[in-house]
Amino acid sequence: MPAWTFLTNHAHVFLCVVKDPEARLRDIADIVGITERATQRIMSDLVETGYIERDKAGRRNVYRVPPGLPMRHPMDRHADLDQLVSVLTGFGPGEHPAAMEEDRGSRKNPPHDAPSVS
C-alpha cells in the first residue's frame, strides 16, 4: 500500500456511492481497502454533513447525492463536487446513478461549513 494517495478515504467512499448507490458498506470497505467500521464512520460523516442522503429500501440502504454541493476545503470552494465526480468517473453532472434531481426541493441537511482536515 502506498504511503499516501491524492484522494482521501472520504473521497473514495463518496465515489463508491456515486457509482453504486445500493452498495453495501462491506463492499465499499473492500473496494476502498479500509475496515467496515471506518467505512461506517465515513458514511456517517457524509450523511451528517448532507453530502449523501440515505434512504431505506427494505433492509438495504440506498444513497443519493444532492446536486451542486460545494467542495469542503476553502481552496476548492470555487468548484462543486459535480465537477470532481465528472472528472473522476466520466459521468456528467446529474448522470451518475446516485444523482438527485434538482427539482426535489431543498435538501434536508445542507452541507455544514465546518473546516475539513487536510
Residue 17: inside a domain: yes
First-to-final CA distance of the chain? 20
pLDDT in tens, the chain (118 residues): 678 899 999 999 999 999 999 999 999 999 999 999 999 999 999 999 999 999 999 999 999 999 889 999 999 988 889 998 999 998 887 888 888 765 444 444 445 554 444 3
Bridge partners, 55 (sequence order): 62
- Residue 6 CA to residue 69 CA, distance in Å, equals 20
Nine cell digits for residue 13? 467512499
- Residue 110 CA to residue 54 CA, distance in Å, equals 14
Instruction: Give the number of domains in the chain.
Output: 1
Entry pTM: 0.80
Q: 73: domain CATH number? A: 1.10.10.10
Burial of residue 27 (number of CB atoms within 10 Å: 0-12, 13-18, 19+) = middle
DSSP state of 75: G
